[in-house]
């Protein structure tokens, strides 16, 4: 855990503080519990004494006075104990709260092999596909916004009019293209056995905290003050919360969900970054995979999620690379994260299209999602993982990589059945021009 903190560039001393706090908590708890046990015994005897006294009084027995005295004495003793118990209980509760606060400060323990360092210290695992040579083809590629405007697919100006900067309309073929892409993602995952879902995009505070989105990334989150609700930046929140406080059954293998949802992000820390087009926007749509599995299966499951992402990227036929994100760029919940980044010709670099995280037991621990322990009695925390299968941003890669000299855009083969453009506005689904 110390090594993990260091690799993330965080304070390893937190670990010692956690151990000390745990020690204090256990001590306080033990003290409280033993006195509490004593209190219960005494308190119960008060009931018996009072009963005996009442009976004697009713019967007019001679020893009634004596019994009354005994009962009052017992009550006084119980009262004293009660005071002490209360104060010990408060101590124990405080020690517990201190531990919880410290634990929240530490990110998930990273998996061996994750590169140390920050945002730029990722390791490239693999590069797939070849970037097109536009010079050889004899034309200068347009960026996704220029293409989108020409096709009547993206309208940033009206987006800004209605929602402000970083809002947009997808119009005509743009709207259809996004639906086609996300529908293809839903279909792929459903065929692979995922349970398809459309999830809430507002979540309560406890779920946001449990999913790990209120720590380092709290600034990214829209909050609805009047209702104390949060707009989620990903359906991961709703999917992680789905089984909160539940004991789930993993005997037949991982439980996998695939969700379509709108996603909302404030982009608080990214002023001036990616201001053109739909690369970085306040609202977009996403299809997300989410898996609950046994901790010992999590790394294998992580590879499976990555494979499903690769399958999707192959379908849209764009060049991309896979990176192993460095520890300092992981975010609190993730123990390892693989991103797939697509080649964006007009930027001459790779941009993130997918991200799959193995959160091991971090989220499930906070959200209290468990399974019956297969190795014995009791329950144990499960592991959670997530991964992207498609987002609005994918349109950037599709538009730029498949643009033609005549200004049209070739639609990848796999996407055509989902586009449903045949006959509509005289379009063929092999290319999109405009909806006119």
Binding site residues, RNA, CB under 7 A: 26, 29-30, 32-34, 36-37, 39-40, 43-44, 46-47, 50-51, 75, 78-79, 81-82, 247, 370, 378-379
* Residue with Cβ nearer RNA (217 or 365): 365
Contact 363, 339 (CB under 8 A): no
Closest approach of Cβ 283 to RNA, in Å? 19
* Helices vs. strands in the chain: H and E counts, helices first: 13, 18
Contact 172, 410 (CB under 8 A): no
The CA distance from 303 to 26, in Å, is: 39
* Residue with Cβ nearer RNA (243 or 256): 243
Catalytic entry in 4, 355, 408, 429: 355
259 burial (CB, 10 Å; 0-12 / 13-18 / 19+) is: buried
Catalytic entry in 265, 304, 351, 366: 265
Backbone dihedral region for residue 337 (phi beyond 0: left; psi -120 to 50: alpha; all else: beta): beta
Catalytic-residue membership of 265: yes
Closest approach of Cβ 18 to RNA, in Å? 13
Closest approach of Cβ 50 to RNA, in Å? 5
Catalytic entry in 351, 393, 400, 429: 393
Neighbouring C-beta atoms of residue 436, cutoff 10 Å: 9
Distance of CA 390 to the CA centre of its chain: 16
Closest approach of Cβ 301 to RNA, in Å? 23
Q: Is 163 helix (H, G, I), strand (E, B) or coil?
A: helix
Closest approach of Cβ 426 to RNA, in Å? 33
* Residue with Cβ nearer RNA (39 or 183): 39
Catalytic-residue membership of 149: no
* Residue with Cβ nearer RNA (43 or 431): 43
Neighbouring C-beta atoms of residue 415, cutoff 10 Å: 19
Catalytic-residue membership of 393: yes
Catalytic entry in 36, 280, 310, 410: 280
The CA distance from 143 to 254, in Å, is: 41
Catalytic-residue membership of 410: no
* Residue with Cβ nearer RNA (32 or 194): 32
Order of strands, edge to edge, in the sheet holding 202-204? 202-204, 229-231, 222-224
Q: Which residues are catalytic?
A: 265, 280, 352, 355, 393
């Amino acid at each position: 855990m110390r090594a993990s903190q260091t690799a993330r560039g965080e304070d390893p001393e937190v670990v010692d503080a956690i151990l000390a706090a745990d020690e204090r908590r256990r001590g306080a708890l033990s003290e409280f519990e033993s006195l509490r046990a004593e209190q219960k015994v005494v308190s119960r005897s008060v009931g018996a004494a009072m009963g005996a006294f009442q009976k004697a009084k009713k019967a007019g027995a001679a020893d009634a006075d004596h019994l009354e005295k005994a009962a009052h004495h017992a009550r006084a003793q119980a009262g004293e104990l009660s005071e002490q118990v209360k104060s010990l209980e408060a101590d124990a509760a405080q020690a517990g709260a201190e531990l919880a606060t410290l634990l929240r400060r530490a990110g998930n323990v990273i998996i061996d092999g994750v590169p140390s360092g920050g945002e730029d210290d990722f390791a490239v695992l693999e590069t797939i596909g070849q970037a097109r040579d536009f010079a050889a083809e004899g034309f200068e590629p347009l960026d996704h916004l220029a293409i989108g405007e020409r096709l009547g697919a993206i309208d940033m100006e009206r987006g800004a009019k209605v929602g402000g900067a970083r809002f947009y309309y997808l119009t005509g073929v743009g709207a259809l293209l996004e639906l086609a892409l996300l529908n293809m993602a839903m279909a792929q995952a459903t065929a692979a056995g995922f349970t398809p879902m459309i999830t809430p995009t507002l979540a309560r505070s406890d779920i946001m905290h449990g999913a790990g989105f209120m720590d380092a990334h709290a600034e990214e989150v829209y909050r609805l003050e009047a209702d104390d609700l949060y707009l989620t930046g990903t359906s991961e929140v709703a999917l992680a919360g789905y089984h909160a406080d539940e004991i789930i059954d993993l005997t037949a293998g991982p439980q996998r969900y695939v969700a379509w949802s709108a996603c909302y992000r404030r982009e608080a820390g990214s002023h001036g970054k990616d201001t053109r087009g739909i690369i970085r926007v306040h609202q977009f749509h996403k299809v997300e995979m989410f898996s609950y599995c046994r901790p010992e299966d999590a790394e294998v499951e992580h590879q499976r999620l990555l494979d499903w992402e690769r399958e999707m990227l192959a379908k849209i036929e764009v060049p991309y690379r896979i990176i192993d994100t460095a520890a300092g760029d992981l975010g609190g919940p993730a123990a390892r994260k693989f991103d797939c980044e697509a080649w964006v010709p007009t930027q001459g670099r790779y941009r993130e299209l997918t991200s799959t995280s193995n959160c091991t037991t971090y989220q499930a621990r906070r959200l209290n999602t468990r399974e019956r322990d297969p190795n014995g009695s009791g329950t144990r925390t499960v592991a959670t993982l997530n991964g992207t299968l498609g987002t609005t941003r994918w349109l950037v890669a599709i538009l730029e990589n498949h643009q033609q000299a005549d200004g049209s855009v070739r639609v990848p083969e796999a996407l055509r059945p989902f586009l449903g453009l045949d006959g509509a506005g005289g379009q063929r689904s092999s290319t999109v021009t405009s909806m006119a």
